[in-house]
A and B are shown apart, each in its own frame.
Chain A
């Protein structure tokens, strides 16, 4: 992370520096995440945006130390997290035990598929209570009472009854609320939400997003929101990190990103959305903008910039080396030779 980025008045809650995750496979080393850096401030939402192969999910799993041991992941970099007690710890350097005390407690995660993320043979009340007992040391009765409070917090009707129900008895939207209740049970300061609404219907998605925003406003928690849905990003993120083939290709606050995207991939992504194809009242264009081709296999990355084979603005320079991620303004970064680095005056 460049030190010339404008220093925030408030200390960031999470600072990720040069995160890399690689997996050895039969066919070679797959670099799923390479040199990813970003930060999240208290009470703010940072969106991690990318498509297949971008590394966004692996990034979140790496931060939470939830990668399967059998994957033999090679992780490097740092992830400095400010705990509730004011200590700064490197999530990637903690022992398993220390990480377990943070995970599900101050650091919570919600996943895309609530049905497979909730234990199907344990009641909802028990699942939430288990987390509370473990991290807060409450006894069974108090833990269950906290579980009910959590269900009320996420606006699940008939919460007393739901405590004794199983996940399969609930709808998809309800299950996602339970996931959120489980995540919120121990007052997290950082919530990682990995495609939390992708599997939900549009009207239910809207409810969940409003809920998350309300909880954030009430608790001041930070959210790392992982998604490929740019509509959601536009309305629920403060800051956007765009990933392509495992690397950060652009980083900007949400309005400048949508208003004036700098990286050709971001430009292409926004241009190819049918929702942005034409202004209201105007006739729709005959063809949508499309980014040609598809992302390269991680086993045979292009020699220079990963996006070059699909880029309409590519130059010969682009095949020679991976461009560096540079500051293009006080709050923006881009990884492209076409975007000039700004000279940022250092704060006195």
Chain B
């Protein structure tokens, strides 16, 4: 994230600036996304983590203009995509793709795989002609570890993991630069998750993809992402390079989130006291810092000021007024 305008050569591939997305009534809206900014460099995988109501899925959709922003801008290669015409946006979509969470709901059950992938190609006028199209479909299925003969089957004939691979193939079909992966592993068994993680990591490297990886599974985020944005109730709590975030989380919410995720090792003591209370409703977020109602370090001032997202050290941002905690931790 940059405070000053970047020179052309360093223009991030994707940038969101102060985006907001509200739903429902104007007087008491659901503030799903409430002033979020971040940038993603070409080739980077940015993780978006958060729990229910964090806004992470909504952000994923707003970045692709599957949802319009209530306020703010989404920039692709420095250009505001919110102002583009429908025609222009459609052409751009071949560059910006998405992999959905639910492999059972995201494939049309009445279409064969060849038709699903073919539709993606036809929409963008790629690999025209039956021979060309079939060749490309076979290539795509091979890329995701499926057999070309399976193109003539229907989604219900595949397992969850296989359907997710088809979802990946569909996203890749149009040769995108940027992929939003919205909880792509959550519906899969653990032993299948690692297959899909490997697939995504391989493809990312081979095709030089830029990714926005949305997940609530911190272990997967730690493995796949270069940088992480931690969200709570529609706002950014912390941003950091992955290793640093997990080694030394600065924000109390990040600390609580990491402490609450049990590591699969009985020898690592899990002594942290869980956060009290529930996640507040996005329709009635607390005043000041939205996390203050559950924060073990909250003070009076937290209710009065919205903590700015400050750069604590290069690349590390935290939205918390308790700077004294950072000094104490470093001591």
Contact = CB atoms under 8 A, between A and B. Distances in A.
A274 B189 contact: no
Interface string B216-233: 101110111000000000
Contact of A231 (B194, B198, B262): B262
Nearest to B270: A235
Interface stretch (A2-10, A34-42, A143-151, A196-204): A196-204
A56 B162 CA distance: 23
Contacts of B272: 206
B264 A174 contact: no
In this complex, which of A207, A230, A286, A288 has the most chain B Cβ atoms within 10 angstroms of its Cβ?
A288
B203 interface: no
B197 interface: yes
Contacts of B276: 207
B263 A234 contact: yes
A269 B190 CA distance: 7
A277 B197 CA distance: 12
B192 interface: yes
A94 to B, nearest CB: 34
Contact of B260 (A205, A229, A268, A294): A205
Contacts of A274: 194, 197, 219-220, 222-224
Nearest to A234: B266
B257 A203 contact: yes
B266 A235 contact: yes
A210 interface: yes
A268 B256 CA distance: 30
A276 B191 contact: no
A17 interface: no
Contact of A272 (B161, B191, B247): B191
Contacts of A290: 191, 194-195, 198
Residue with the greatest number of chain B CB neighbours at <10 A, chosen from A209, A228, A270, A274: A274
A254 B266 CA distance: 7
B51 interface: yes
Contact of B192 (A235, A236, A286, A294): A294
Contacts of A269: 190-191
B52 interface: yes
B274 A52 contact: no
Nearest to A292: B195
A294 B159 contact: yes
B284 interface: no
A206 B275 contact: yes
A287 B190 contact: no
Interface string A329-346: 000000000000000000
Given A202-B261, A231-B262, A210 B201 contact: no
A167 interface: no
B279 interface: yes
Contacts of B260: 202-203, 205-206
A232 B189 contact: no
B66 interface: no
Nearest to A155: B276
A305 B55 CA distance: 45
Interface residues of B, number: 45
Contacts of B190: 51, 228, 230, 269, 272-273
A174 B162 CA distance: 35
B278 interface: yes
B51 A284 contact: no
A169 to B, nearest CB: 12
Nearest to B49: A202
Interface in A265-283: 268-270, 272-277, 280-281
Given A171-B279, A294-B159, A275 B193 contact: no
B324 interface: no
A254 B161 CA distance: 29
Contacts of A52: 160, 189
B262 A255 contact: no
B264 A201 contact: no
B265 interface: yes
A264 B330 CA distance: 44
Among the interface residues B160, B256, B261, which one has the most CB atoms of the partner chain A within 10 A?
A: B261
B189 A201 contact: no
B267 interface: yes
A104 interface: no
Nearest to B191: A291
Given A228-B189, A234-B264, A255-B266, A288 B278 contact: no
A259 B268 CA distance: 12
- Across chains A and B, which 9 residue pairs bring their CB atoms closest together, nearest first? A231-B262, A275-B219, A272-B194, A201-B51, A206-B260, A206-B274, A274-B223, A51-B189, A230-B264
Interface of B: 51-52, 159-162, 189-195, 197-198, 201-202, 216, 218-220, 222-224, 247, 256-257, 259-268, 270, 272, 274-276, 278-279, 294
11 contacts: A51-B190, A202-B51, A230-B190, A231-B219, A234-B264, A274-B197, A287-B198, A290-B194, A291-B194, A292-B195, A294-B192
Given A201-B51, A204-B51, A206-B259, 15 more contacts: A171-B279, A203-B294, A205-B260, A206-B272, A228-B190, A233-B264, A234-B263, A234-B268, A259-B267, A272-B191, A274-B224, A280-B247, A290-B191, A292-B195, A294-B159
